[in-house]
Structure 1
Amino acid sequence: MSADLITGRIHSVESFGTVDGDGIRFIVFVQGCLMQCLYCHNPDALDIKGGRIVTVPELMQEIVTYKAFLKPNGGGVTASGGEAVLQAKFVTDFFKAAHKEELTTCLDTNGYVRDYNQDIIDLVNESDLVMLDLKQMNDEIHKKLTGISNQHAKRFAEYLHKQNQRTWIRYVVVPGWTDDDESAHLLGQFTKDMDNIERIEMLPFHQMGAHKWKTLGKVYKLEGVEPPSADTLKRLQSILQGYGHKVIY
């Protein structure tokens, strides 16, 4: 391996994603995350020293075999996680390589950016779309839900707006945590003037990652929590639409 090649740590890949950006997407789940979300469905991707080490050429060698399926309808590659901004330089190089193959790029992030250095600036500039998780606007609840403050994610949302960066907001609806009217109103109020936001995607909570927590010997604190009802989703959709957003789920 050449010494000048930037390497990254990845958890896994998915070759035909249809919900993580425009068109059909090749998704790279990078390894490592500094949040500890109670509902995380990839807890095995949290360890920043885990995963496997790869280079961008190694990734692209596989991706180009799917190029004919990815290119139509604006498809391309998505960097998800884990948390992609923790490996900003690697993801930026990955996105540059994808652009050379005429594939679009999407950054799926929780917005935990602490330093707006050149690596972060380059990453955002190389992203055709950013999907930003805004998990909870009430900071005290956010801390209990994720282990950290929401101030970094809010600042990143404001940065994306300032840059007029095409953005989708993702909001996980967790009963007892984010499914109340006040939480929806806070999200609507925070984002109402951000005209770079094309839509808000409400993602219903599910239990599909619970078994991974148990396999890792970790306590899954949302044991027994049921997915939100259709009525709940419709109610929250109506609230968020009241702030001028397109809202889907």
Structure 2
Amino acid sequence: MCRHIAYVGPPVALGTVLAQPSHALVRQSWQPRQQKYGTVNADGFGVGWYADGDPVPGRYRRQGPIWADLSFADLARVVRSTALLAAVRDATEPGADGEAAAAPFTSGRLLFSHNGAVKGWPGSLAPLAATLPPAELLTLTARCDSALVWALVQHRIAQGDDIPQAVADTVGEIAEAAPGSRLNLLLTDGTTIVATAWGDTLWYLTEPGRSAVVASEPYDDDPHWRTVPDRTLLVATCTDVLLTPLKEPTE
């Protein structure tokens, strides 16, 4: 499992979202309040953000715990952005992928994270993996379940699906192939946040017309945080939040 968060809005220092709030992502790495599976998120972390004039986000990722990285603390204090996506990781299984398995994953303008686990990994997704072109499998950045989930989302986008549809359909096909999977996905293009609640907690906080935050759990005790029902697709911008029920796989 892991904890993740995305923000869109006026320029802010990364630390304003990730470190300063009383229960920010940094604290959630060792003391999450709502995490149902796992206890400590110390198997890697990452943050991606957008800089003025460059459509491709930058990333900073490491394989160790976020609380031990003083370089991240400096970066979070001085780097400002209008959009970011960050995650702290609790690995589903031991592995040697290290930093490569830490979200956010990226492709072009997109940043992506998966909070959860695929049931029966890796065998359960072998049929879905076989539908991808060999070149796409060979370019997976890690051998973990999240990397394959990201590859499946990317493939749908490349075939012409819009981002919300690609995310929703990917969750549906994985849930059918691997029942009992936890599939909270989080994705942003720097303007819109797309997320799913499927098996774990998801919340959002908005300041209408100004900003939106979507996270595994609230980073403070602001009463305006709203929970996302399980089996739901969320699409959020600075001006609007749309919640759409996701269909259960057919028996």
The answer to whether the superposition gives a TM-score over 0.5 is no
Name the structure with the higher helix share: 1
Q: TM-score, normalization: structure 2?
A: 0.30
Name the structure with the higher strand share: 2
Q: Greater CA radius of gyration, 1 or 2?
A: 1
